Amino acid sequence: MKNKKSWTLFFCLIVVIMVWMVGCSKEESTTPPSEEPAQQEDEEALEGTATTLGSLKSFSAESLEGEAFSEEEIQGKDVTIINFWALTCPPCIAEMPELAALEKALPENVQLITVCLDGAGDKESTKSILEDAGFEGVTLITGDGDLGALCGNIRYTPTTVLVNGEGNLVGDAIIGGQEALAESYLLAVNTALKAEGKAEISLEE
């Protein structure tokens, strides 16, 4: 009888220990509630507020090919699409072929350039990714002035902004990869053009 009670107590003790261990494991693997909502709020704050990220009225930069790029190249276009990406961002790399195709299909008054935020530290990898994707546009790897400040305000990659000929950011910041990239970007560009009283564009085949 005594042995039976001892086994019963031992069994109950094992059950209590297992429940306690499972509870700790679940608690430790759970993301703190404050983190996910905070990220969602940050993303929502950036959507539709591209102007709060800065402007591109005065800056100088260097392209991956070593060429100078400044606000003058922005001023010569009705709209400039700027895609900020990073070598460590798989979604950025995955959408690069679509960006390459879009860049080739844009009319003369609209241009698409990219800014590789960590490209200066690994030019060869940057070139390889762009070549594999077929991207033939300008990619910047360094920048100061307004561009440096804007890069500092980019919190997620990929992030894409639109800039008008005066160097002002217009419309919404496009954050994250887009399922229908060309359609999404075309809509954003035409919305920006229409707001400034300019003719809408279509993509060239």
Closest listed residue to residue 87, CA positions, set 117, 51, 63, 132: 117
128: tokens are 């390889």
Stated as kind and residue range, the H or E segment containing 195 is helix 181-195
Q: Which residues are CB-contacts of 14 (< 8 A; sequence separation ≥ 6)?
A: none
Closest listed residue to residue 168, CA positions, set 68, 50, 62: 50
Domain ranges of the chain: 38-195
Distance (Å, rounded) from C-alpha 18 to C-alpha 12? 10
Rg, C-alpha atoms of the chain:
25
DSSP for residue 136 = -
pTM across the whole model: 0.76
Angle between helices 96-105 and 123-133 (to 10 degrees): 60
Instruction: Fill in the amino acid letter for 82.
Output: I
- Tell me the pLDDT of the chain (205 aa) as tens digits: 545 445 454 544 443 333 333 222 222 222 222 333 333 444 443 345 688 899 999 999 999 999 999 999 999 999 999 999 999 999 999 999 999 999 999 999 999 999 999 999 999 999 999 999 999 999 999 999 999 999 999 999 999 999 999 999 999 899 999 989 999 999 999 999 999 999 999 998 7
* Beta-strand relationship, 159-164 and 169-175: antiparallel
| Element counts in the chain: helices (H) and strands (E) | 8, 7
pLDDT at 204: 82
Under CATH, what is the fold of the domain 38-195?
Glutaredoxin (3.40.30)
DSSP for residue 67 = -
pLDDT at 50: 84
